[in-house]
Amino acid sequence: MELEKYLGEVITQVNETIDKYIQGDVPELYEASRYLLKAGGKRLRPLMVVLSSELLGGSRDRAILAGAAIEVLHNFTLIHDDIMDQDTTRRGLPTVHVKWGIPTAILAGDLLHAKAFELITESIKGLPIDLAYRALNCFSRSIVIVSEGQAMDMEFERRWDVTENLYLEMIRKKTAQLFACSAHLGGLLANGTNEEVNSLYDFGEKIGIAFQIMDDILGITADEKELGKPLYSDIREGKKTILLIKALERANEHQRKTIMNGMGSSEVSTLSSVASLLSELSLDYSQQLVRKYYENALRSLSKVRSRNQLALDGLRAIADLIITRRK
């Protein structure tokens, strides 16, 4: 109960900060920029920033600004990814480019990207320059890495030779880097030791990998309404998820043909039969992989000496949520 209240309070402060910063006098652009942020989202990444900071006894205000920066940045990537992947629904609503057209959606993403830097700049105001530099560097390097991951993800759509290792490298860049940077930033802003901020980085990275594998799993097993976006879109888009990679490894010739011919289809019945095969052949394996990264993440977290039991409980609760979530 106390934990719930604590997390709720942090989320409220992050949301208030986002509201305050995403304002301006070009109405349509700001409306399009705020839309996805207002549509929901679990705010996992800003929670990682703030709780990692408070775990080491850092101050609240600075971490809230950095958390808001990470969330705004994440939403920018979602808006652009939806254009690139031609996704039409997210968080149960039409995507930004469906509602406002591609030009405004590109610009709304660019605006959020810039606003994220405005927020991170606020968060380092008055810090020792060395810490400020490290925080900014972690932030801007992360976006470079996330962009590289998205490029790999798109390139893999055209390939059939993607291995599990390549897949892991791709999701480490596309998804896990931002979780890693979140925990790392929290540690830096609280002036943690090198060992502490590195352990937090590892915690974030592993939890981020678990998050993405769960995302792949939910893409074929979730309740579509609960998920807020179409099921099977990974199969329709030819995404090389861990489920697909492992299923192809384990499939007999007939199954292999069914899968390969079904990838990229727009027929729901075809997509659904590919999904059944993936479930049969690789769901177990994928769930075990999630478990493995989850346990490694908690091991990294346990290396950090906690100064705040509530923050520690909160980080563990986030890790639990990530592997038990249904959306």
Site residues (CB under 8 A) for a copy of itself?
Answer: 24-26, 28-29, 77, 80, 83-84, 102-104, 106-107, 109-111, 113-115, 117-118, 121, 124-129, 132-133, 136-137, 139-141, 143-144, 147-148, 150-152, 154-155
* Residue 6 vs 156, nearer CB to a copy of itself: 156
* Least Cβ distance, residue 187 to a copy of itself (angstroms): 18
> Which one-letter amino acid corresponds to residue 41?
G
- β-partners of residue 89 are 94
Q: Give least dist CB 320 to a copy of itself, A.
A: 32
Least distance (Å) from a copy of itself to the CB of residue 23? 11
Q: Which is closer to a copy of itself, CB of 123 or CB of 270?
A: 123
The answer to whether the beta carbons of residues 200 and 138 sit under 8 Å apart is: no
Closest approach of a copy of itself to the CB of residue 110, in Å: 5
Q: 52 near 308, Cβ under 8 Å? A: no
Q: Which amino acid is at 274?
A: V
Shortest distance in whole angstroms from residue 321 CB to a copy of itself? 29
- Give the containing element (helix H, strand E) for 121: helix 102-123
Minimum distance of a copy of itself from residue 131's CB (angstroms): 9
- Which helix (H) or strand (E) is 127 found in, with range? none
Query: Cβ of 98: how many Cβ atoms within 10 Å?
Result: 17
DSSP type of residue 160:
S
Beta carbon nearer to a copy of itself, 3 or 107: 107
* Cα 82 to Cα 6: distance, rounded to the nearest angstrom: 32
Q: How far is the CB of 108 from a copy of itself (least distance, A)?
A: 9
Least distance in Å: CB of 297 to a copy of itself?
26
Judge whether 265 and 271 are in contact, CB under 8 Å.
Answer: yes
Q: What is the secondary structure of 247-296 as a DSSP string? A: HHHH--HHHHHHHHHHTT---HHHHHHHHHHHHHHHHHHHHHHHHHHHHH
The residue (of 116 and 274) whose beta carbon lies closer to a copy of itself is 116
Q: Give per-residue burial for 14-23: e unless 16+ CB within 10 Å, then b.
A: bbebbeebbe
Which lies closer to a copy of itself via its Cβ, residue 161 or residue 253? 161
Residue 205 · residue 176 · CB < 8 Å = yes
CB closer to a copy of itself, 140 vs 198? 140
Of residues 170 and 207, the one with the C-beta less far from a copy of itself: 170
Angle in degrees, CA 20, 22, 28, rounded to 5: 135
